[in-house]
Amino acid sequence: MELVAVIKALADDTRIRILNLLQESELCVGEIERLLNLSQSNVSRHLARLKSANVIICEKRGQRVHYRLNKGVFKKYPFIQQIIDAELNKIEQCIGDIKKLREYQQEGSLICSSI
């Protein structure tokens, strides 16, 4: 059942932080690693879980894989988007992650984004 898979995929702090970032920008693994201060294997494991639940989609460009939200899932289950929109901006860690993302974007110091 797709809905159950989506909800289970969202039931993790790190995956919520990843979704928070992907709402702002398409990112590759290295950028998520750097922004969240996590190992590549940890980020990849969480991305695989989100991808298997169809919450995110990816596109290979050269040697890097870029990840973004699968808008179709959020259209299919709009209550999930409503919860995310209403709650992520209340979580200090998510607020800090977005601040860091915006700083990196302004500095042009992200690894592979064409933001």
CATH number at residue 59: 1.10.10.10
Q: What is residue 59's three-state secondary structure?
A: strand
Give the pLDDT score at 35.
96
Q: Number of helices (H) and strands (E) in the chain: give both, helices first.
A: 7, 3
pTM, two decimal places = 0.91
Weakly modelled stretches of the chain, pLDDT under 70: 111, 113-115
Cβ pair 67, 26 in contact under 8 A: yes
Q: Does some domain include residue 70?
A: yes
What's the structural domain count of the chain? 1
Q: Does some domain include residue 43?
A: yes
Give the pLDDT score at 115.
42
Cβ pair 5, 51 in contact under 8 A: no
Q: Does some domain include residue 50?
A: yes
Q: Does some domain include residue 35?
A: yes
